[in-house]
Amino acid sequence: MNQLEQLKQYTTVVADTGDFQSIKAYAPQDATTNPSLILKAVQKPEYRPLLEKAVADANGASTEAIVDSLLIAFGVEILKYVPGRVSTEIDAALSFDTEATVAKGRELIALYEKNGVARERVLIKIASTWEGIRAAEILEKEGIRCNLTLLFSLCQAVACAEAGVQLISPFVGRIYDWYKKSTGTDYTGADDPGVQSVKRIYQYYRKFGYDTEVMGASFRNTSQILELSGCDLLTISPDLLQKLADSDAPVERKLVADANADIAKIAVDEKSFRFMLNEDAMTTEKLAEGIRAFVADSLKLKKMIEEMMK
């Protein structure tokens, strides 16, 4: 078996892309999207018709409504190629607005259901701000499952688990990027700070009995992926899926629940959450940077739609 096939024995593999052909090629269980991936996809000729249809069907709708229709169109198509779930992201501009995030989550699920997709097959993707986590807590109680993204720290992960969130996406590569830049060290294997962060979160959840799924995300190389073999899920870009498929080197399970892990339980309320984030320069910087980047790509997508509507 190649490395991808071996990895699937230990971990649920998820495709991190809006490209249907890539999804079809690697047979993942689930798929994840974000504004940057959707923007990238609609610039390809084969996906342009989805954008054109969303604009043509607008009937005077706002640009925001057209974007929502486009996100749902991609999600519906993706679900034809995966047996599991698709993650659809809420506009990162709402990351600090609990009420607006809840409203948008309900709107997106309603659009999916209107298109014949059961809510169980959708994860609403929300940034792991305090406000985002509170919104997810409300949505989860309504049977709307959430994927909390832009997650870089244990305090974010604990707050998500205590809110009853379905799944979190701790970012490996962006943590690695920050530490590499700040220390000048090119971390590899188990020494990678991004890998260590996900391992810590995984063991914390297992030790204290949380049901929230852990899905490692944002990988820079296959070494990071293989170090997290055994994680609940891993969402992987097409280029790295191909590298795994091209190798037949052995894959071992690296993550195993350890009931005796030396991890202390932490209490997370709003004050402690904000303080712990403030004390963590990496998380503070990468969370803000991630929100800005997703907002920028959402604005580019909206501008593209507005140009087509003229």
> What is the pLDDT averaged over residues 13-41?
94
Q: In this predicted model, what pLDDT tens digit does every residue of 205-217 receive, in sequence order?
A: 999 999 999 999 9
| Section 118-135 average pLDDT | 98
- Point out the residues that are catalytic: 125
Residue ranges of the domains in the chain?
3-309
Distances (CA, A) of 93 to 12, 98, 132, 294, 300: 30, 11, 11, 8, 13
Question: Do the Cβ atoms of 35 and 236 come closer than 8 Å?
Answer: no
Structure confidence by residue, pLDDT tens digits, 131-144: 999 999 999 999 99
Q: What is the pLDDT averaged over residues 245-258? A: 96
Interacting residues of 310 by C-beta distance below 8 A, sequence separation 6+: none
The pTM score is 0.96
State the average pLDDT over residues 37-63: 91
For residue 17, what pLDDT is reported?
95
Q: Does pLDDT of 60 surpass 90?
A: no
- Residue corresponding to tokens 């409504």: 65
Residue of 253, 252, 187, 258 whose CA lies nearest to 224: 187
pLDDT digits (tens, 9 = 90+) for 263-303: 999 999 999 999 999 999 999 999 999 999 999 999 999 99
pLDDT at residue 181, as a whole number: 97
Q: State both tokens at 96.
A: 């600090």
Residue 5 CB contacts under 8 Å (≥ 6 apart), including other chains: none
Q: Looking at the domain 3-309, which fold is it?
A: TIM Barrel (3.20.20)
d(CA 251, CA 88): 30
Q: DSSP E strands: which ranges in 95-160?
A: 122-127, 146-151
Could you read off the pLDDT of 168-221 as tens digits, one per residue?
A: 999 999 999 999 999 999 999 999 999 999 999 999 999 999 999 999 999 999
Partners of 236 in the β-ladder:
15
For all residues of the chain together, what is the average pLDDT? 96
Q: What is the DSSP letter of 8?
A: T
